[in-house]
């Protein structure tokens, strides 16, 4: 048996307190509490956006794994039946040779995208079977019962087909494939079409489908016969199935009759609802296992090319309480990460502020003030930041174009922006790289200016005029999201030249905060959906869509945000009272456990 030292290269260490940054899997002895401990990352089961199919379609077939899948057939677009075949490598789809016979509502079995068996389908009910060798399809012996809307399980040489529609009746027929021919075996207990399946030829699961109404009935196959087991929680048809055997399966999407994104996990005894698909849909295809699955295509109700990847153990971030600001304030700006940040400007009941504070991961320290106290926009790092635009209530000059540069010690006034304004969004890498986005001039504006370290230049306007937005990135690659009026979740991506509208936030809000390295990776947190009420909602952007993740501890708005999707900081704001609170975002987050003798 391997010893701990042989695995980790060191003996178990003793500490008087838990170590700050233990290695995943490390075990240590806490001398103070006299306990043995270990740490592991926090994870959730979640769907993430994958690469889209080249051809949007529904009623298609699928087989393989999350990183090696095959999609084939379907309606492209309705009512054109297709034989198109595409292979997925874990990132993108590649078009390959078509099926010999174009069809929809077909079934399949296969271990990966190089070895798949496809059978049955329509527009004319057929038992036609084709075998895929990684390059092309070859016709082999037909199934005994011609039908469509059936399910499949197993591999290219040992497959199982069951259920479906054999006009004019729904079918319970089950057949096994031995690599050469099909043999009829014991029927399902409940005849149905639009059923989902998972598993192998000797250990499979059939679930859901249509018997007149939709059904939740689940049956388990042991290689000889079917046994009814516990139902799905949500009755539906045309859902996707994935799974290794009759003790481990995933069912997702379908029609209830409304399109749904509901996902359920099967543990061998019962179904449990877990995280929904990002895009509700039916008539989709699936592949993989209950821990690493893939769904693709379907109807939304239009045919879609969308692909989603399921990970039952996705590392997630979490918020934790940090050291409070020395000066509570709202409309504060910041730059940096959860361990090294700068907070500056803002206001509180005492007036407009130029106070600047530096954060070291534990506490804030007051440093040199800005030259002009104000509610400013800002970006950068703890040692290289920029404060620009803003408002300080000066009569006759309600909006400011002032710009100040921070060198790690003090602020210096530099060239003004072209258009004075306030309450826009801001991003930037340091005091030589910034983007001032929109805001309020004499009215709402969609003006954008880029800073190169010396001067501001007007660049491409964004599409939806608004203010109190959130943003993350740099002046060459940024994401801007949310804002009002009206309160919106609209998101736009900046490529250094122009803005493109992309997928909205799940929760429309303004007056929140954002962080992120570029337009493929951002975090949106806090804000308000109703004036005067802060929210705790956090969402993460993966370059394609937003996913809701761990909430903040304190709902607030008009706060500062900075950092990346792995290390971010939230500070100040309103709750609605003016706040000094700081929260640190770390991804992945970790859980520490004590080892007991039981």
User: For residue 61, which of 76, 45, 48 has the smallest C-alpha distance?
Assistant: 76
Buried b (16+ CB within 10 A) or exposed e, 413-448: ebeebebbbbbbbbbbbbbebbbbbbbbbeebbbbb
Instruction: State whether the Cα torsion 132-137-143-148 is positive or negative.
Output: positive
Angle, CA 141 vertex, CA 53 and CA 66 arms, to 5°: 25
Give 571's contacts (C-beta < 8 A, 6+ positions apart).
322, 325, 332, 334, 341, 343, 359, 559, 560, 580, 581, 582, 583
- Report whether pLDDT(313) > 90: no
d(CA 60, CA 149) in angstroms, rounded, equals: 10
What is the structure's pLDDT at 13? 82
Return the percent helix, strand and coil in the chain, to nearest 5: 0, 50, 50
- Report whether pLDDT(3) > 80: no
Q: Quick one: pLDDT band at residue 77, thresholds 50, 70, 90?
A: confident
Residue 181 and residue 35 share a domain? no
User: For residue 161, which of 170, 149, 150, 169 has the smallest C-alpha distance?
Assistant: 150
- Please identify which residue in the block is written with the tokens 């500056």: 344
Residue 595 lies in a domain: no
499-539, pLDDT tens digit by residue? 999 999 999 999 999 999 999 999 999 999 998 899 999 99
Residue 346 and residue 222 share a domain? no
For residue 588, whether the previous peptide bond is cis, meaning omega lies within 30 degrees of 0, is yes
Residue 66 and residue 24 share a domain? no
Residue 366 lies in a domain: yes
- Please identify which residue in the block is written with the tokens 């997925």: 88
What is the structure's pLDDT at 6? 62
Residue 341 and residue 211 share a domain? no
Residue 593 lies in a domain: no
Q: Quick one: pLDDT band at residue 594, thresholds 50, 70, 90?
A: confident
Q: Quick one: pLDDT band at residue 32, thresholds 50, 70, 90?
A: confident
- Report whether pLDDT(11) > 90: no
Provide the β-strand partners of residue 232. Answer: none
| Residue where a domain stops, chosen among 315, 348, 370 | 315
Residue 72 and residue 31 share a domain? no
Task: Count the neighbouring beta carbons within 10 Å of the beta carbon of residue 369.
Answer: 15
Residue 65 and residue 27 share a domain? no
**pLDDT above 70 as % of the chain:** 95
DSSP class per residue in 350-416: TEE---EEEE-SS-EEEEPPPSS-SEEEEEE-SSSEEEEEEE---TT--S---EEEE-SS-EEEEPP
Q: Quick one: pLDDT band at residue 8, thresholds 50, 70, 90?
A: low
Q: What is the mean pLDDT of the chain?
A: 93
127-156, pLDDT tens digit by residue? 999 999 999 999 999 999 999 999 999 999
Provide the β-strand partners of residue 229. Answer: 218
Please give the tally of structural domains in the chain: 3
470-498, pLDDT tens digit by residue? 999 999 999 999 999 999 999 999 999 99
Residue 528 and residue 382 share a domain? yes
| Residue where a domain stops, chosen among 315, 344, 368 | 315
Residue 252 and residue 106 share a domain? yes
d(CA 56, CA 164) in angstroms, rounded, equals: 24
Q: Quick one: pLDDT band at residue 421, thresholds 50, 70, 90?
A: very high
What is the structure's pLDDT at 513? 97
Cα-Cα-Cα-Cα torsion 418, 420, 422, 427, nearest 10 degrees, comes to 20
User: For residue 372, which of 341, 400, 332 has the smallest C-alpha distance?
Assistant: 400
Residue 579 lies in a domain: yes
d(CA 188, CA 210) in angstroms, rounded, equals: 14
Residue 311 and residue 164 share a domain? yes
Q: For residue 499, what are its two tokens?
A: 């803005």
Q: Quick one: pLDDT band at residue 274, thresholds 50, 70, 90?
A: very high
Rg (CA), the chain: 28
Residue 49 and residue 31 share a domain? no
Residue 598 lies in a domain: no
Residue 412 lies in a domain: yes
pTM: 0.70
**Three-state helix/strand/coil letters over 184-213:** EECCCCCCCECCEEEECCCCEEEECCECCC
CATH at 344 = 2.120.10.80
Residue 63 lies in a domain: yes
Task: Count the neighbouring beta carbons within 10 Å of the beta carbon of residue 482.
Answer: 30
Least reliable range by pLDDT among 196-200, 270-274, 309-313, 509-513: 309-313
- Please identify which residue in the block is written with the tokens 């993966």: 542
575-588, pLDDT tens digit by residue? 999 999 999 998 87
Q: For residue 216, what are its two tokens?
A: 């939740």
d(CA 150, CA 489) in angstroms, rounded, equals: 40
The more confident residue out of 498 and 442 is: 498
| Residue where a domain stops, chosen among 297, 315, 333 | 315
Residue 27 lies in a domain: yes
- Please identify which residue in the block is written with the tokens 């399980």: 153
| Pairing outcome for strands 107-112 and 115-121 | antiparallel
User: For residue 179, which of 221, 129, 135 has the smallest C-alpha distance?
Assistant: 129
- Note whether 382 and 339 are within 8 A (CB): no
d(CA 216, CA 229) in angstroms, rounded, equals: 11
Q: Quick one: pLDDT band at residue 413, thresholds 50, 70, 90?
A: very high
Residue 59 and residue 23 share a domain? no
Task: Count the neighbouring beta carbons within 10 Å of the beta carbon of residue 229.
Answer: 17
- Report whether pLDDT(262) > 70: yes
Domain range for 582 is 322-588
| Pairing outcome for strands 285-288 and 513-518 | unpaired
- Report whether pLDDT(387) > 70: yes
Residue 339 and residue 261 share a domain? no
What is the structure's pLDDT at 397? 63
């Amino acid at each position: 048996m391997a010893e701990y030292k042989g695995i980790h290269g060191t003996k178990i260490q003793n500490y008087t307190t838990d170590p700050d940054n233990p290695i995943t899997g490390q075990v240590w002895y806490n001398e103070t509490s006299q306990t043995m401990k270990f740490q592991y990352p926090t994870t959730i089961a979640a769907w993430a956006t994958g690469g889209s199919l080249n051809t949007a379609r529904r009623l298609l077939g699928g087989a393989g794994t999350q990183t090696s899948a095959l999609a084939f057939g379907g309606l492209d677009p309705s009512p054109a039946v297709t034989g198109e075949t595409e292979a997925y490598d874990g990132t993108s789809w590649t078009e390959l040779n078509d099926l010999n016979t174009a069809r929809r509502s077909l079934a399949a079995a296969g271990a990966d995208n190089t070895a798949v068996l496809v059978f049955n389908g329509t527009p004319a009910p057929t038992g036609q079977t084709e075998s895929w060798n990684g390059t092309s399809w070859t016709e082999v012996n037909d199934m005994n019962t011609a039908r469509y809307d059936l399910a499949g399980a197993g591999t290219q040489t040992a497959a199982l087909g069951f259920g479906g529609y054999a006009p004019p009746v729904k079918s319970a027929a089950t057949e096994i494939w031995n690599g050469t021919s099909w043999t009829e075996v014991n029927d399902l207990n409940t005849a149905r079409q639009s059923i989902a399946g998972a598993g192998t030829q000797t250990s499979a699961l059939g679930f859901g489908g249509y018997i007149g109404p939709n059904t939740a009935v689940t049956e388990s196959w042991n290689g000889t016969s079917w046994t009814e087991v516990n139902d799905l929680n949500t009755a539906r048809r045309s859902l996707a199935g994935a799974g290794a055997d009759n003790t481990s399966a995933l069912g997702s999407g379908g029609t209830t009759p409304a399109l749904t994104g509901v996902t359920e996990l099967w543990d061998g005894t019962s179904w449990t609802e877990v995280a929904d698909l990002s895009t509700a849909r039916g008539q989709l295809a699936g592949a993989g296992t209950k821990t690493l699955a893939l769904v693709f295509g379907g109807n939304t109700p239009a045919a879609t090319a969308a692909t989603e990847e399921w990970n039952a153990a996705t590392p997630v971030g979490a918020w934790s309480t940090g050291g409070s600001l020395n000066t509570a304030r709202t409309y504060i700006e910041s730059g940096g990460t959860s361990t090294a940040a700068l907070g500056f400007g803002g206001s509180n009941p005492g007036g407009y502020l130029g106070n600047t504070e530096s954060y070291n991961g534990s506490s804030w320290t007051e440093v040199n003030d800005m030259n002009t106290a104000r509610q400013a926009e800002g970006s950068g790092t703890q040692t290289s930041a920029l404060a620009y635009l803003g408002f300080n209530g000066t009569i006759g000059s309600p909006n400011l174009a002032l710009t100040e540069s921070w060198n790690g010690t003090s602020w210096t006034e530099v060239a003004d922006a072209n258009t004075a304004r306030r309450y826009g969004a801001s991003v930037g890498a340091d005091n030589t790289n910034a983007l001032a986005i929109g805001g309020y001039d004499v009215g709402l504006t969609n003006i954008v200016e880029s800073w190169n370290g010396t001067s501001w230049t007007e660049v491409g306007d964004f599409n939806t005029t608004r203010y109190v937005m959130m943003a993350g990135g740099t002046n060459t690659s940024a994401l801007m999201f949310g804002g009002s009026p009206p309160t919106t979740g609209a998101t736009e991506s900046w490529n250094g030249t122009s803005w493109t509208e992309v997928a909205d936030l799940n929760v429309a809000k303004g007056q929140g905060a954002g962080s992120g390295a570029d337009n493929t990776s951002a975090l949106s947190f806090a804000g308000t959906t109703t004036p005067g009420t802060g929210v705790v909602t956090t969402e993460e952007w993966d370059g394609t869509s937003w996913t809701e993740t761990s909430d903040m501890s304190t709902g607030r708005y008009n706060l500062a945000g900075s950092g990346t999707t792995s290390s971010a900081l939230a500070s100040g704001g309103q709750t609605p009272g003016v706040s000094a609170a700081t929260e640190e975002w770390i991804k992945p987050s970790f859980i520490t456990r004590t080892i007991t003798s039981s």
